Structure 1
Amino acid sequence: MRAIEVGLREIVRCGVTHAFGIPAGSVNAIYDALLDIKEIKSVIVKHEASAGYMASAYSRITGRPSLAIGSSGPGATNLLTSCANAFTEKSPVLFMTGSVPTHIFGKGGAQELPASPLFKSITKLSMVIHNAAELPGALVHACETSISGIPGPVHVEIPINVQMAEIDLYSIVKDTSENIETQFSLSEIEEVAQILLQHGSCGAILLGYGAKSAKRHVLALAERLGFKVATTPRGKGAFPETHPLSLGVYGLAGHEQAIEYLHSKTWDVLLVIGSSLGESGTCNWDKQLVDGKLLIHMDYDVEVFDRVFTPFRTITGHIGPILAELMERLGEKPPIDIALQEIAVTVEEVSMSVQEVEFVPEVDTLRTRDILRHIGECSPEGTKFYVDIGELMTYAIQELTMKPGFDFDINIHFGGMGSGITSAIGAKLAEPERPVVCISGDGCFFMHGMEILTAKEAKIPVLFIVINNARLGMVYHGHMLQYQRCPSNFSQERINLTEVARSLGIEAYQVRCLADVTAERMLQWTQKGLPVFIEVVVAGNEIPPMGERVKFLQGATY
């Protein structure tokens, strides 16, 4: 049997069920083998970067490794961007690239490029396989590496002749089903519990993406302590924003009440759960967040501690078990009488984003802020929103209210335009029963919009909503705010994207007023069984809530 087929059959036993990529000469043996391996569903995409984004979203949600496949040369370099994204997202993706035959290395073969060194800095492991007999074991090792410890992408470069060589069939897979042991100590939990008990309700909680794995525990802890709760932009959805203790989002495009409260001196314990405390989640590392406060930082990756802010205490491990142990030590009865009704009144006085506030748009003009709030109000129960990069994400952070059961995701750290369109497809494959709504912009659509055709071909029912303001909105407004002028070609000729989608055979509608979107229609659109495309036409003259980003750029020295 060919070495590549043996290897692919082995990684099925490691949990691999999906492969995303584009066929080409140097990887055609991979695709030929997949014809006989029904356990792996192959999704053929329109661009290799899209393959990596889809795989990353799928693997991050399921915890299982998936494949992102690209040819030698340009296929491999196209994968680099999404591999870097997977590295920041800590997604266990196996990036697999082809290569010219080993006997012509260095002779200038077609599409020859040593890819392994390029992937080295953005993977946990990057290697070239020279010996066919070693291929199955190398693929298993790569998969095990991707899910062990702190998950992350790996890369394997496989020359054509190595893929196609005949080898003996034998089983080499180890048991990879065991859970990774948490690393925290019970003494750490006990010490933190005592600190929290001593400070009563005089504290706040900041939730990052990592807290989403333990939503039930987070909610119980917040109600037990009576701490106000904010999330980072990536953590949005970790706590229901309709809850009386919710402050909304802190950081890039954050809510005013969250920023005001977390910068105040009225409390003295900050509990950070599942956040790396990066630029976008800390208002550009504003020291007011931590000054005069005891910072307790929980995360499963020790590397995120003490990067900018020095914590008073840290706990390393998986969030769910940590919070379960912590709740045991805090006891069932709250240390104070939490009057949630009084808290709700206080939050209502300062909140402008989680209440049903009526806005009157300009005449004949649909505003991005209004339509995103309306989409959130009309979306079906349990919707997962995948938001793309750009101006629209700042409005989405503020206006998409996370009700119980909703979830929100955005690849904000690496910030690749179009990653929302592609990641939504991977997310829907990971959670097929859940409504998945992708909110993107016309600039992102021009980068990776043809993947809506991939969704149609593979029958992946994502609802794609594209806000069309006929410009690169975030760079346009950012440039104007920073320099008070802007190149004219930051704006674009308005293209009828609805007709583009229809030309691909996709059901598509154009929205020009709020009445065009209703709860009934949103439910119908998400239950079609095939992708649906919605184009929202806006003027785009409103200035997005991106002041913190502009301040950072104005003070940058690079």
Structure 2
Amino acid sequence: MNIAEAVLKYLRNVGVDCIFGIPAGIIGPIYDALIDVDIKPIITKNEAGAAYMAARYASNSGKLAVCAGAGAVGVGNMMNGIADAMRAKAPLLVITGYVNRWQIGKGAIQEMDAQDIVRPITKYSNTVMNEADVLAELDKAVRIALTPPCGPVHISVPIDVQRMEAPALLPAAPEPSALQRIRPNPDEMERAAALLNEAERGIIMVGRGGRSSAEAIMRLSERLQWPIITTPSAKGIIPAEFPLNLGNYGFSSTDAAMEYVTSSKATCILILGTSLGESSTCNFNDVLVDGRKVIHVDRDAKELGKVFRTDAAVVADLRDAVPYFAEHVSPSSASFKKPFPLNEAYEPNHTGLSLRLFLEKLSQVMPADTRYVCDIGEFTNFVLKYLEVPAGGDFEINLNYGAMGSAMAGGPGLYLADSTRPVAVIAGDGSFFMNGTEVLTAKEYGLPIIYFIINNAMLSYVERGQKFLYNRTIPDYKQERISIADMMRIAGIRAMSVDRLEDMEDIPGFLREMTGPCIIEVNTDGSEPAPILDRLKALKK
């Protein structure tokens, strides 16, 4: 058994079932060893797509994802996906090849020091020159990736080291639950519960960290009769129909969430599992906490007090903290009444198809358990404000890194992590042209991903932003309209177009015939004003 095969056998013991990437000469032994180890290779169209797929696989499932590629141009292409995983705190292992040890420093093909290139966007990065150290270094890196705060790690192994004989014994696989268990401080928990009992009215803010605690959070909300607001990354964790859910707050808030936060109704805010970044706080606007007692719970101690002052900072897993609060707070005699609808009435102030009305109707024609993966563009504002995710559904976005094209590849990663529910990607034409070739990866592996491509034939976010910031723009932001549906049909992918809202009635029947990915192109003219002022005002500061 050589070292390449030993690496894969160790990863299989950790629970890795697939590896994303593109083979290359200096990572060849790893790909050759896949023939002998029960790990499925997912060969993408670009290393960037591989890293985005792995990042979404890890972010949503919490399981270790693995990318493998060349250490020079390959890791250069992976950079955005690795950074995406870093901002999402997703456990990702990147394995890259390196030239033969005797070639180092002589100008070999694809010789580049990947170790230092990725170090700023990983928790750990190392090149292993000694064959005796490879498995120990691999085990170390995997444990670092799976330890909160989770994140990407990188190991580079020269090709001659990959071919060498491996030791007979592999390191014992780590137990992720043991690595990730955080013992809360009883005094911190008690202090937080006391503040909850003292407050007359409050708000519960739920971030991405609440994914595994949704039911407990809803029970606590009902007990306190405190409404819930969700950060953009936590959209879908609390079902849209939950009677105390006011929807998205921060980047493109619902009107109901914004009204409640800016009112004086709440005297306390319980913040659960969010780093309170720009996208979650309306550009760090302290109206969220001003005049309120602030309780912040997160398993990453560095996030507590980083943005806003806190009255109670609790380092804990929400799976421990939320049930504790529910047990130690008194039920409220008040009754919160959710406003309906959450947003002001639609105003027909544009031409062409309304993206808002399309998104408000989308959950009615899609399976209730659909998991939506949202890309980045002007359409994102509409999605966050107007798309409703019902019980059984889910939503995934990494707005903190904000990489266009990330969801085009991320959708397959999400499906490979859990194939029991439908996956729908929502992306713009700009995102498609950046990373749309990964639709072909989904086709080749028979992954039934539904791609909604919002095509307005322009970089509308840039166009509108430039006008807002500088009172002028350039014509190059508007582009020749190209039918993405026609492009994909030529590639053998089923496609349909939505030009009017009435066309949405054909979506359920269209989806019933899926055998692989499909494209639903939504054609708009880009004239509908988007709820984007928070982001543009932040750029103007």
Shorter chain as denominator, the TM-score bin is: over 0.9
1:498 and 1:84, CA in 2 relative to 1: closer, same or farther beyond 3 A?
same
Cα RMSD (Å): 1.8
Q: Secondary structure at the match of 1:477?
A: helix
Counterpart CA distance in 2 for 1:251 and 1:49 is: 28
1:276 and 1:525, CA in 2 relative to 1: closer, same or farther beyond 3 A?
same
1:527 and 1:61, CA in 2 relative to 1: closer, same or farther beyond 3 A?
farther
Partner of 1:32: 32
Counterpart CA distance in 2 for 1:188 and 1:45 is: 46
Q: Secondary structure at the match of 1:80?
A: helix
1:523 and 1:162, CA in 2 relative to 1: closer, same or farther beyond 3 A?
farther
1:139-170 deviations in whole A, cap 9, x for unaligned?
A: 22221221123211100111111111233432
Are 2:293 and 1:294 aligned?
yes
Partner of 1:198: 198
1:307 maps to a residue whose letter is K
Partner of 1:335: 332
Counterpart CA distance in 2 for 1:286 and 1:178 is: 36
Are 2:533 and 1:534 aligned?
no
Q: Secondary structure at the match of 1:142?
A: helix
Are 2:460 and 1:485 aligned?
no
Partner of 2:2: 2
Partner of 1:21: 21
Contact 2:350 2:529 in 1 (8 A): no
TM-score scaled by structure 2? 0.96
Counterpart CA distance in 2 for 1:421 and 1:531 is: 11
Contact 1:193 1:330 in 2 (8 A): yes
Where structure 1 has 5 or more consecutive residues not aligned to the other structure, the ranges are none
Mapping of 1:6-405 within 5 angstroms?
A: 6-38=6-38, 40-179=39-178, 180-200=180-200, 202-330=201-329, 334-338=331-335, 343-344=337-338, 347-348=339-340, 351-352=342-343, 365-405=352-392
Contact 2:93 2:152 in 1 (8 A): yes
Which of these residues, 508, 529, 539, is aligned with residue 543 of structure 1? 529
Counterpart CA distance in 1 for 2:115 and 2:396 is: 30
Partner of 2:487: 500
Contact 1:204 1:227 in 2 (8 A): yes
Contact 1:380 1:523 in 2 (8 A): no
Are 2:534 and 1:554 aligned?
no
Counterpart CA distance in 2 for 1:22 and 1:376 is: 36
Partner of 2:418: 431
Q: Secondary structure at the match of 2:6?
A: helix
How big is the shift at 1:242? 2.4
Identity of aligned residues (%): 34
Counterpart CA distance in 1 for 2:489 and 2:390 is: 32
Counterpart CA distance in 2 for 1:120 and 1:524 is: 46
Alignment length (residue pairs): 540
Structure 1 stretch displaced more, 132-141 or 230-239: 132-141
Contact 1:19 1:69 in 2 (8 A): yes
How big is the shift at 1:174? 4.1
How big is the shift at 1:297? 0.4
1:30 maps to a residue whose letter is I
How big is the shift at 1:183? 2.7
Partner of 1:471: 458
1:383 and 1:523, CA in 2 relative to 1: closer, same or farther beyond 3 A?
farther
1:509 maps to a residue whose letter is M
How big is the shift at 1:21? 0.4
Are 2:426 and 1:446 aligned?
no
1:507 maps to a residue whose letter is R
Counterpart CA distance in 1 for 2:115 and 2:425 is: 33
Q: Secondary structure at the match of 1:308?
A: coil
Counterpart CA distance in 1 for 2:452 and 2:425 is: 6
Contact 2:350 2:527 in 1 (8 A): no
1:85 maps to a residue whose letter is D
Partner of 1:422: 409
2:230 maps to a residue whose letter is T
How big is the shift at 1:80? 1.3
Counterpart CA distance in 2 for 1:232 and 1:335 is: 25
TM-score scaled by structure 1? 0.93
Counterpart CA distance in 2 for 1:260 and 1:187 is: 34
Where structure 2 has 5 or more consecutive residues not aligned to the other structure, the ranges are none
Q: Secondary structure at the match of 2:234?
A: coil
